[in-house]
């Protein structure tokens, strides 16, 4: 509770110095209230009319010390500091000046108030610092040493009310209490300083961790940029070959068209069609990959029948598979459904099947199976084609490293398709991986969530 009162008026945007000053003002108010309450109770216990009047004055000042805490709550800190200084000065000066003289030692609190000014004000606030220091030190000097002013104007017979020995005890207690207040304030500030150092240490650790994370992200970003640069360099090199061939064959036909046999013309036209188709396929996949990277491909996940989608796609592959006498087998023991973007998953299935047909020998078999987990479905597409080396398998989904090999009928690929497939699967909260060995075919697996 005390800590809560001390922190009244402190905000997150306040620095350590500002927080310390606010807490000192609150702490001074609390200590002042406690001391005034104790002295008021003591004065009232003497059951003397003049001491009752003094207790009333002190109680009024005590309740006024609630005002600085209230002002701090609304962040009026300078006014709160001024009022705290004024009230504690009056509370410490009035009893010895007007009522008691120096005999009960209340004037020692004026020394404490003068010292605390160095905690209240910074070097940039010299005027209020000097004013309150001189004021309190002057009042202390008057009360303690200057007998012309330090006489009781109201209570002149204090010896008849309070025994001499008790007066000495109270005088000593006031002196001890003054030093105790200094110790409490300094200890409190030291505690806050230690806490602040711990906060700084913790924040420094957090900043270091963030800097490490930023460095890691920077390194990843640099590697990504370098990888993409290499990737586009490879793409440019791959485009250069077919386009150069198209240009050379066009020039050949243009220059030797009349003297060229029809069979040679057809052969050149066939090569032109293959080259332009490959370039078109590469550009299409580049465009799809670019749109995927920028996040502008529409994403509309929905519940759909996975069996039905696979059946439709395999039916569309019938013309291609018939050319190589390849059989596509499906192993579904029930109807499976998935929650994903159906267009993206269609692209994934078509791309994997295209590769499977491309790298499967004539009269080969492609098997499609579905398994069901607790929260996902696993689709597996297995072929018995040429397979992949470990290096090809490890680089398959890496930009700039994925390399497409020639199919069993010299079909060409771009190497981009599987990268796009993985991105699409991960976009739909799934995972994609492959298993393969040279001469033993390849199996591609990907998972999809069963439902939202």
Instruction: Say whether pLDDT at 446 is over 90.
Output: yes
Residue 269: inside a domain: no
Query: Over the chain, what is the mean pLDDT?
Result: 79
Residue 151 binned pLDDT confidence (cut-offs 50, 70, 90): very low
pLDDT band at 369 (very low <50, low <70, confident <90, very high): very high
For residue 347, count other CB atoms closer than 10 A to its CB. Answer: 17
Each residue's pLDDT tens digit, 295-347: 777 888 999 999 999 988 888 888 778 888 889 888 788 899 999 988 888 88
- Let me know if residue 323 belongs to a domain: yes
* 9/156 same-domain check: yes
Which among 30, 24, 43 has a CA at the least distance from the CA of 94? 43
Instruction: Please write the tens of the pLDDT for every residue from 219-278.
Output: 878 766 766 665 666 566 556 666 777 777 777 777 777 777 878 778 777 777 767 776
- CATH code at 352? 3.30.565.10
**Token reading at 114:** 């003068």
**Range of 143's domain?**
2-162
Q: Among 75-89, 233-247, 274-288, 360-374, which stretch is predicted with the lowest mean pLDDT?
A: 233-247
**Weakest-pLDDT range from 25-29, 81-85, 189-193:** 189-193
Is residue 23 within 8 A of residue 128, CB to CB? The reply is no
Using the predicted structure, report yes or no on whether residue 156 has a pLDDT greater than 70: no
Percent of the chain surpassing pLDDT 90? 9
Q: Is residue 175 part of a domain?
A: no
Q: What is the pTM of this model?
A: 0.48
Q: What pLDDT is recorded for position 302?
A: 92
Q: Domain for residue 50, yes or no?
A: yes
162, 188, 203 — which closes off a domain? 162
Count how many domains the chain has: 2
- Does residue 173 fall inside a structural domain? no
Query: Could you say which of 128, 162, 196 is where a domain stops?
Result: 162
pLDDT tens digits for 391-410? 888 877 776 554 556 555 55
Query: Is residue 195 domain-resident?
Result: no
Domain assignment of residue 248, yes or no: no
pLDDT tens-digit series, residues 99-115? 777 767 778 888 888 88
Among the candidates 138, 162, 186, a domain finishes at 162
Contact call for residues 185 and 116 (beta carbons, < 8 A)? yes
**Residues in contact with 74: Cβ distance below 8 Å, sequence separation at least 6, in sequence order:** 9
């Amino acid at each position: 509770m005390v800590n809560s009162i001390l922190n009244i008026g402190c905000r997150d945007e306040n620095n350590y110095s500002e927080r310390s000053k606010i807490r000192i003002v609150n702490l001074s108010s609390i200590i002042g209230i406690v001391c005034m309450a104790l002295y008021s109770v003591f004065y009232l216990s003497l059951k003397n009319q003049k001491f009752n009047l003094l207790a009333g004055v002190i109680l009024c000042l005590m309740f006024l010390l609630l005002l600085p805490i209230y002002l701090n709550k609304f962040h009026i800190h300078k006014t709160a500091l001024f009022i705290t200084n004024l009230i504690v000065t009056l509370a410490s000066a009035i009893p010895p000046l007007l009522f008691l003289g120096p005999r009960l030692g209340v004037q020692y609190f004026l020394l404490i108030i003068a010292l605390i000014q160095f905690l209240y004000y910074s070097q940039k606030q010299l005027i209020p610092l000097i004013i309150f220091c001189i004021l309190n030190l002057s009042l202390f000097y008057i009360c303690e040493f200057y007998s012309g002013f330090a006489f009781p104007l109201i209570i002149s017979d204090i010896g008849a009310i309070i025994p001499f020995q008790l007066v000495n005890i109270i005088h000593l207690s006031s002196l001890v209490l003054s030093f105790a207040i200094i110790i409490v304030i300094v200890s409190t500030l030291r505690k806050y300083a230690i806490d602040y150092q711990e906060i700084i240490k913790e924040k420094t650790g957090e900043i270091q961790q963030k800097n490490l994370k930023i460095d890691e992200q920077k390194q990843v970003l640099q590697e990504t940029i370098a990888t993409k640069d290499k990737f586009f360099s490879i793409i440019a090199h791959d485009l250069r070959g077919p386009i150069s061939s198209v240009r050379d064959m066009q020039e050949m036909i243009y220059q030797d068209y009349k003297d060229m046999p029809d069979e040679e013309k057809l052969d050149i036209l066939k090569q032109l069609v293959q080259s332009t188709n490959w370039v078109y396929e590469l550009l299409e996949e580049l465009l799809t990959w670019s749109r995927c990277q920028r996040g502008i491909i529409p994403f509309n996940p929905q519940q759909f029948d996975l069996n039905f989608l696979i059946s439709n796609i395999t039916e569309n592959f019938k013309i291609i598979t018939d050319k190589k006498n390849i059989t596509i087998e499906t192993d579904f023991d029930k109807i499976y459904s998935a929650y994903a973007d159906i267009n993206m998953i269609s692209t994934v299935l078509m791309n994997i099947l295209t590769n499977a047909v491309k790298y499967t020998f004539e009269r080969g078999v492609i098997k499609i199976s579905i398994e069901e987990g607790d929260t996902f479905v696993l689709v597996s597409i297995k072929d018995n084609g040429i397979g992949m080396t470990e290096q090809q398998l490890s680089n398959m989904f890496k930009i700039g490293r994925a390399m497409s090999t020639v199919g069993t009928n010299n079909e060409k690929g771009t190497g981009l398709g599987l990268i796009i497939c993985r991105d699409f699967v991960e976009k739909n909260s799934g995972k994609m991986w492959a298993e393969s060995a040279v001469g033993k075919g390849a199996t591609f697996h990907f998972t999809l969530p069963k439902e939202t």
